[in-house]
Amino acid sequence: MTEKEPSFSHTSVLLEEVIEGLNIKPDGIYADGTLGGAGHSCRIAEKLSPKGRLIGIDQDEAAIKAASQRLSGFGDICTIVRSNYENMAGIFQELGLHGADGILLDLGVSSYQLDTPERGFSYKTDAPLDMRMDQRNPLTAEIIINEYPQEELARILREYGEEKFAGNIARHIVAARQKQRITTTEQLNELIRDAIPAKMRRTGGHPSKRTFQAIRIACNRELEVLETALEDMIRILLPGGRLCVITFHSLEDRIVKTAFKRAENPCICPPGFPVCTCGRESLGRCVGRKPILPTEEETENNPRAKSAKLRIFEKRN
């Protein structure tokens, strides 16, 4: 690592709340599906006995290197795998593990990824349009911006960014790329600024925020992966095991909330039926009806924690 490169640092959001929520057993098996800089995982590992096990999963090569170094002192109880958390069931099978006592997902983009300009996640610095969390992924933000049809671009911005001006931004992108390929974040910033009325640009934060979020989500299949993975993870949980998920925007939180409610009450019988005939049994319970939010002190110390929400699901015994 050169002196100019940032270290993989990421302030762990809702750290104490996650550790309490996981209800860690010293001899238990735990998985961190979004390992990052191993902030949460270090605290989990500290609570494990030599019989315990921690599986750390991340698709980012920089995260794997940083976490491997941070967790090296815990020895054989830690296993680190470079993969997407959607593959957790297969990873457990390969490792000969029969289930987990706790699983953590800390979703979204890390501070390291945002603060490393060449990764292209941030609209605050001029950089190549990349946005890949796994740099083995052939699909980049540049490909999406330059090669996706206008209708698909508008859909992505509308659905993943909740962008009011999705159609207009998509039109500006398509018109611009016919003259010259769009390759940098600043080029995209300029197009977004031109597509949003000046009056609207003055409110609601940076005009590029929603578009960059949407393109990043599409590039990394974030919502698609989350929807399919939650069901698998609830199945992986051992009786009494807990799944803790930290989200950072309403789209993610809605998916988690829906999946947890469906696992808690999977009955599909019409409302008012006196007796359940579908035979679907509850897989467990949501721990708390409302998400756990960061304290004022935490948001003051770490502004990126402001939108965080933690939801917990407990597998039935």
pLDDT tens readout for residues 11-50: 799 999 999 999 999 999 999 999 999 999 999 999 999 9
Single out the residue of 256, 278, 275, 254 nearest to residue 266, CA to CA: 278
Q: How far apart are CA 55 and CA 29, in angstroms?
A: 8
Is 70 exceeded by the pLDDT of residue 4? no
As a CATH number, domain 136-219 is 1.10.150.170
Phi, psi dihedral angles at 31 (to 5 degrees): -130, 135
As a CATH number, domain 15-112+222-315 is 3.40.50.150
Q: How far apart are CA 51 and CA 54, in angstroms?
A: 10
Specify the residue for token string 């209708």.
151
Which residue intervals of the chain are DSSP H helices? 15-22, 39-46, 61-71, 88-94, 111-115, 141-147, 150-161, 166-177, 185-195, 198-201, 209-220, 222-236, 250-264, 296-301
Q: How far apart are CA 35 and CA 106, in angstroms?
A: 8
pLDDT at 108: 87
- What mean pLDDT is reported for the chain? 94
State how beta strands 78-82 and 237-247 pair: unpaired
pLDDT at 101: 98
Condensed to tens digits (0 to 9), the pLDDT of residues 150-188 reads 999 999 999 999 999 999 999 999 999 999 999 999 999
Q: Are 280 and 268 in contact (CB under 8 A)?
A: yes
Kindly indicate the confidence band of residue 2, based on its pLDDT and cuts at 50, 70 and 90.
very low
- The reported pTM is 0.92
* DSSP codes of every residue in 171-214: HHHHHHHTTS---BHHHHHHHHHHHS-HHHHTSSS-TTHHHHHH
Does the fold of domain 136-219 match that of domain 15-112+222-315?
A: no
A 10 A CB-CB count for 73 gives 9
Local structure of residue 246 (DSSP, 8 states): E
Retrieve residue 145's tokens: 């911006």
pLDDT at 3: 37
Retrieve residue 218's tokens: 């599409």
Q: How far apart are CA 253 and CA 291, in angstroms?
A: 9
Kindly indicate the confidence band of residue 223, based on its pLDDT and cuts at 50, 70 and 90.
very high
Please give the share of the chain, as a percent, with pLDDT higher than 90. Answer: 85
- Burial class of residue 5 in the structure, from the number of CB atoms within 10 Å of its CB (0-12 exposed, 13-18 middle, 19+ buried): exposed
pLDDT at 205: 82
Domains in the chain: boundaries: 15-112+222-315, 136-219
